[in-house]
Chain A
């Protein structure tokens, strides 16, 4: 992955503070602004969807209209005018879809190059990562399909899956996050554009990391991707998701839904590096990131592990969760959330213990700098039949500067005596002594903060796949630039 890293560094040198802040100039196919039944019919027709899916979307719209935007999170943003957004945007002239990378708009490929995912190089770099790149709403190119197909693995865009694996989509869509689950998930259910679909058949260990890069390009478009990952009995998959968005003055809405299903003995590892544009130092612009991610450990001994590094977005509202239904199933949540300047993050997890001897681990590291607010909000619920359930939670906050806020709001609910729940939380700051030591040994204040914060986050970062970990460590430093000195 050396080449990827070099590309990333080059980009950073070019663009400075927010290294992904470039806009690609491509002709777009855009739905008119506003959200009505017609919008949904337009989206559904564009994607040539079956009738049942259109109905499913319309039902979601009906539900959504009756719902209210939640206000309980510790985030503050101006009211969103949902009628002033485009709900569909796709690059033009693609009605047939590219058959190979050669057919993909070269400018698009250049964009990915800047993002650090040189598709061409990756095709040469034999089978390290398979990438499904989502450019605004439509999946552009999916590599390594052939190799995966040999094993019966389906890895494609969600729209394609609707046609390729309709039974699977119909069976599992909304089975973890129902349409009416919450305001933003419901909105997504009505208007979702595209996303990734992964199916790992029984007993198959996916031979490579699957990766998707999301990127919001067009102005005034909400991105509503929908991802569905199904791991059959004994299957294993590691999925990587990277998110970036160009620099714009207006706020852009992102409301994604991710559903994971793990059957008996299956394991899904889902890693995210979220680096959407956070807005400028004054808090102008940036992404509103309202995401519902949930995994169901349906099978016995199944395991779902979420790892996230959240450094971007103006507002983050995100709680990747695990429903531990199968006996002996395992849920994990490892999170680093960094906020600087005027960013706000309210993020955490829910671990719902239903099956016997279910185990969950939560490790959350929140870093607040500038005037930002950083909240961990989590729920551990042990239901009455979850005999032998165990949870361990560790939530640490680090404050850099005296104008930011760090908050920890854990909810712990237990109905089962034969269970153990442990929760620990601490809040501290980088000490002057630590900073001075690093500087005495030759590090600049920025390097010192990056080193200390990376140490603080180590338990989480080491859960990331190698190529992501390197990127994440750099992001930690970049995100905190200007926070000291």
Chain B
């Protein structure tokens, strides 16, 4: 298995892409992306970055492009239970009528389609600038079909008070792939709390291939929380990219609870001195599902700090994957980069694969990584039981504590509570089974 043909995903590309919005430069970008995906094929286990995660459904089932869909109202519970300005994408396309009317001062939202049609060079540059198709085959596929999405901009020095949530909703009843695309631009000194929520039909077979780019001006601060709550039969692949500039702040959290095969990859580039980033997350995976969290942190500029903590709970015959790479470039001195992954295995049939990686070319650095895999602590369990707490409750308590520790790092209180509620609901389904 050295190559899995890209052909089914690019059927009639030249012809169909010609009908997509935007002029020559957009078409060129699509063609380059399609060529890159064709060269690499669908990623598989022989590709180091995809060593542990096979996109099995994509290998076996033919997924067409998800068609535009008209949805009268967003389904209940699609978004996060927080007060927020909502931007809704349905099958990857901007749905203005579902989105919150009226935006805070200094914030603009446009459909990507409109930007492409208008030939917005800045938008195109931002999409193209982040493209590294040779290292991101699935993002190349998404760019090959670049059509729509949301472009969210915050003016310089504007501190956006409300949370902005982008809901990527998948609908339809045939196996199809949608390409939600988000571009977020923060002016210098601006700040924003952004939630990305991915959801779709609870039972239906579908695929989501999302790409989010975040462009920060000097000193900008972004809180970026991702909730992956896809349906049980979904294949979810997403790639987030953010370059953290001089004195920029990035706080990320990825909570993955859904999907049959899910992979979220976050790439951070620390490009300005004094930049700081925290990238944490948690996942719960059970049944036959596979959940992959991959991070790539590049310390390009000196005096940058990153910190990562991920925790996972695995049950059934599931598989959890954490791959984290921290790179420190030559001459990027005075770097701090820490990384930790802890996994809790609840079942003998579950599997966890972990690859925390350090690649360091500068000497004035303090980098570390840690990884642990194990079951619930027997002593703790016994201690609780000895105090009269039954085994099921005790287990649930310890699991909540395990996940809670990392959820507590979410600085936005409303999001923290809402994410904790989602994690609790996932754990409750767990407790009920036992």
Contacts and interface: CB of A to CB of B under 8 A. Distances in A.
Whether A and B touch directly in their complex, counting CB atoms under 8 A apart, is answered as yes
B347 A427 contact: no
A410 interface: yes
A416 B348 CA distance: 5
A30 B350 CA distance: 55
A415 B331 CA distance: 40
Contacts of B359: 405, 407
A418 B354 CA distance: 17
A410 B355 contact: yes
B172 interface: no
Contacts of A425: 356, 358, 367-370
Nearest to A415: B351
20 contacts: A384-B348, A403-B330, A409-B355, A409-B357, A409-B358, A410-B357, A411-B353, A412-B353, A412-B373, A414-B373, A415-B350, A417-B350, A422-B371, A423-B354, A423-B371, A423-B372, A425-B369, A425-B370, A426-B368, A429-B364
Interface of B: 48, 330-331, 333, 343, 345-375
A401 interface: yes
Interface string A410-438: 11111111111111111111000000000
B351 A402 contact: no
A406 interface: yes
Interface of A: 72, 382, 384, 397, 399-429
A407 B372 contact: no
Nearest to B369: A425
Contact of B374 (A410, A417, A428): A417
B357 A408 contact: yes
Contacts of B366: 426-428
A30 to B, nearest CB: 39
B374 A402 contact: no
B301 to A, nearest CB: 15
A372 to B, nearest CB: 11
Nearest to A393: B371
Given A417-B346, A417-B347, A424 B363 contact: no
Contacts of B354: 410-413, 423
A68 to B, nearest CB: 11
Contacts, number: 118
B348 A417 contact: yes
Contact of B371 (A400, A412, A419, A429): A412
Given A384-B349, A429-B363, A421 B372 contact: yes
Contacts of B333: 402
A399 B351 CA distance: 35
Contact of A414 (B48, B352, B361, B365): B352
A452 to B, nearest CB: 14
B48 A424 contact: no
Contact of B360 (A400, A414, A424, A427): A427
A227 B242 CA distance: 52
Contacts of A423: 354, 356, 369-372
A411 B355 contact: yes
Given A417-B347, A423-B370, 7 more contacts: A401-B363, A404-B363, A412-B353, A417-B348, A417-B374, A420-B374, A425-B358
Given A405-B359, A407-B359, A427 B365 contact: yes
B286 to A, nearest CB: 13
Contacts of A407: 357-360
Contacts of A415: 348-351
Contact of B345 (A400, A409, A416): A416
Contact of A397 (B348, B360, B371): B360
A278 B330 CA distance: 24
Contacts of A382: 373
Contacts of A410: 354-357, 371
A416 B360 CA distance: 32
Nearest to B372: A422
List 7 tightest A-B contacts by C-beta distance, closest first. A417-B345, A399-B363, A412-B354, A421-B373, A417-B375, A423-B371, A408-B358
